[in-house]
Amino acid sequence: MRQKLRIFLYLVSALLFGVVFVAAMAGLPNFGNYRGPYGDLVMQTVLPLRQTQQGVAAVTFDYRGFDTVCEEFILFAAVAGAILLMRHQESEEITKPTDRASDRSLPAPGPAVIGCGVVMFPFTLLLGIYVVLHGHLSPGGGFQGGVLLATAFYFVYLSGEYRDLLEFMEGHVVTLFKVTGAAAFALLGVIPMLRHHPYMLNVMPLGKAGELLSSGFLPLDNCSVGLEVAAGFLLLISAFLRQVLVIRKRRSP
């Protein structure tokens, strides 16, 4: 009875959501028919005011930088909360994983899978670094580049074993990277306050548009966010894999 009730509530909720979603999509302007003045204003000011061609980066880390700080700490809190929920309880003891496959064994990765992981790891890592460092010059930035950096280490697990990924997670290095990235992003906004300016005001030399060292604080903001995002996703995947692959049993009272 409860299962039927849950299915009924789900179908009703899904139907209501679908109707609202379709109505919202129907009200969007046609492709290329932009009706808001803010995007035009941003694109007219980012180059003379911030020496960058990236309007998204200027808005995210400069025009509304304080909002981005709050968004960054939402991710920080989400990762911390997930790890807290999946932590090792005092009433639990970790035992060896039990293979429940039908033939009592799991196949090892084949040469093609291992080769793909070996090739993809350095290329994805370099691509993530590039996206982070050039976030103020081309599409991308700290959020996108941070996800790419974490994905590079996912290839280590997918083409190997869980303990291969754990070698990168030993100690508290990844946690330190995460805390350092989040703290650096927040503290960068304090620097203008030391000069009696508003928080997150871009007061560094803007340089020349198109160069790597330009746009003031934007490259530093991208680097700090990329570090925090990459470390956060690595901590999450490590916690999820530990929960799935390592069996925990509750101790007898």
Which tokens go with 206?
């803007």
- pTM of the predicted model as reported, rounded to 2 decimal places: 0.77
CB 155 within 8 A of CB 202: no
Which tokens go with 74?
């939402």
What does each C-alpha distance from 25 to 10, 42, 251 come to in angstroms?
22, 25, 53
The span from the CA of 222 to the CA of 68, in Å, is 11
User: How would you write the pLDDT of the chain (253 residues) with one tens digit per residue?
Assistant: 778 888 999 999 999 999 999 999 988 888 777 777 888 888 888 888 888 888 888 898 888 888 888 888 898 898 888 888 877 666 666 665 554 545 445 566 778 878 888 889 899 999 999 999 999 999 889 999 999 999 998 888 777 766 777 777 776 888 888 899 999 999 998 999 998 988 888 888 898 888 898 998 999 999 999 999 999 998 888 888 777 665 444 444 4
Domain boundaries defined on the chain: 52-250
Residue in 26, 35, 53 with CA at minimum distance from that of residue 136: 53
